[in-house]
């Protein structure tokens, strides 16, 4: 019940209000008629109609059926793909980092975790003191929740040269760590080509993987997310205002147009003027190989959306998301037209009792 009200509140605050105030929308009676028709025919919540711009003038609502319903996929993923007993391995950034590091994969450079009043180092998992920790830190760093930091919530950026009292800053987090454990990570120095798009935030790649029952790993889609308006986060949401651009999985280059959360188009970044069309993403082949290897580390969590940064010397994994949103389709295109997605789902449904009931949602 809490989840339902949280989702509705988010939908209302970020999308319904915007839709009603959009000067380019259809008339409200028509919107209500189309919305109800979509819900009846698709047996889905109204989110897809709103998320994918069905309310905009000239929008063809028949195109909406090609988008995978997010709520339906969430239920399917939770029931059949991602075992809830193992989600902590992905969602807990400390556990994720340990598992990936043990597999030889590059991750964020963690300084320590602060949990239950204790400061623990990643190298040997031994405790240290706040004084010893302060003496170790010599660079800018980020403090983030070990879990539940969606859309940049709970992040604090600390500039080492301007921090007058690290002891006080860290003491606050130690005191609160019984309810909100955190990680300290050194700030990522991103590749200069990614900084040219937007230098203030670490602009990350969202790339989703699916681990099939036969051990193959499919990549369904990928976008590059950039910050804007002076924000230090790149999150693609109504609140953060970021821009997402499709990455061609074959060429590793950006699409012609980027989109904000409300589907407004941008041929170039509004802050830097850098053109998106055919802009090459450094190390993209390495990114694909990295997330495929990472996906195999979690055989019980088979559907993961990865956030990957491009550092000066190559890609590194920032986090994994076992409940990532399929709104990535707004940039990559509808997943019902994605042959990799529909092929993987068709095979998956054959192994599931009563899998046929999902065919109309996931298979052409």
What are the tens digits of pLDDT across the range 123-144?
889 999 999 999 999 999 999 9
Query: Of 167, 186, 205, which residue constitutes the final position of a domain?
Result: 186
pLDDT of residue 170: 95
Residues 178 and 200 placed together within one structural domain of the fold: no
Residues 297 and 225 placed together within one structural domain of the fold: yes
Residues 262 and 249 placed together within one structural domain of the fold: yes
Mean pLDDT value of segment 239-247 = 87
- Within 8 A by CB and 6+ apart from 23, the residues are none
pLDDT tens string 310-328: 999 999 999 999 999 888 8
Residues 322 and 210 placed together within one structural domain of the fold: yes
> Residue 26 in 3-state DSSP?
coil
Q: How many domains does the chain have?
A: 3
Q: Which helix (H) or strand (E) holds 350?
A: helix 339-350
Mean pLDDT value of segment 334-354 = 93
pLDDT mean across residues, the chain = 91
Q: What is the CATH number of the domain that holds 129?
A: 3.30.1490
pLDDT of residue 241: 77
Enclosing domain of residue 50 = 2-66
Residues 176 and 202 placed together within one structural domain of the fold: no
Residues 195 and 180 placed together within one structural domain of the fold: no
pLDDT of residue 293: 98
Contact status, residue 324 vs residue 206, Cβ threshold 8 Å:
yes
Residues 291 and 209 placed together within one structural domain of the fold: yes
pLDDT of residue 11: 62
Mean pLDDT value of segment 261-269 = 93
Residues 85 and 154 placed together within one structural domain of the fold: no
Rounded distance, CA 306 to CA 299, Å?
15
Phi, psi (deg, nearest 5) at residue 124:
-125, 5
Rounded distance, CA 218 to CA 251, Å?
17
Residue 73 within any structural domain of the chain: no
- Report the candidate in 144, 73, 143 with the shortest Cα–Cα distance to residue 322: 73
């Amino acid at each position: 019940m809490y989840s339902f009200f949280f989702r509705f509140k988010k939908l209302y605050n970020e999308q319904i209000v915007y839709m009603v105030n959009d000067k380019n929308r259809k008339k409200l009676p028509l919107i209500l008629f189309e919305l109800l028709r979509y819900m009846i025919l698709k047996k889905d919540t109204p989110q897809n109609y709103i998320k994918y711009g069905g309310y905009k003038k000239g929008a063809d609502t028949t195109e909406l059926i090609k988008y995978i319903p997010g709520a339906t996929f969430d239920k399917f993923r939770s029931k059949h793909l991602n075992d809830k007993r193992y989600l902590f391995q992905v969602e807990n950034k400390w556990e994720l980092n340990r598992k990936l590091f043990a597999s030889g994969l590059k991750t964020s450079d963690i300084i320590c975790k602060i949990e239950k009043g204790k400061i623990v180092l990643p190298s040997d998992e031994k405790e240290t003191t706040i004084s010893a920790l302060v003496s170790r830190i010599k660079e800018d760093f980020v403090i983030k929740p070990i879990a539940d930091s969606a859309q940049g919530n709970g992040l604090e950026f600390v500039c080492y040269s301007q921090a007058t009292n690290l002891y006080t800053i860290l003491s606050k987090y130690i005191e609160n760590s019984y309810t909100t454990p955190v990680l300290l990570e050194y700030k990522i120095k991103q590749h200069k080509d990614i900084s040219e798009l937007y230098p203030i935030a670490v602009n990350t790649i969202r790339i989703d993987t699916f681990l099939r029952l036969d051990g193959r790993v499919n990549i369904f889609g990928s976008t590059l997310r950039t910050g804007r308006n002076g924000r230090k986060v790149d999150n693609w949401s109504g609140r953060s205002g970021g821009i997402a651009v499709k990455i061609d999985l074959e060429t590793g280059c950006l699409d012609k147009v980027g989109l904000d959360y409300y589907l407004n188009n941008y041929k170039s970044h509004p802050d830097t003027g850098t053109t998106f069309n055919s802009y090459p993403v450094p190390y993209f082949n390495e990114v694909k190989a990295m997330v495929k290897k990472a996906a195999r580390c979690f055989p019980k969590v088979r559907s993961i959306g990865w956030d990957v940064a491009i550092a000066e010397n190559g890609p590194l994994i920032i986090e994994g998301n076992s409940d990532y949103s399929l709104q990535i389709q707004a940039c990559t295109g509808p997943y019902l037209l994605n042959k990799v997605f529909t092929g993987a789902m068709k095979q998956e449904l054959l192994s599931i009792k009563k899998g046929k009931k999902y065919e109309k949602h996931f298979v052409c």
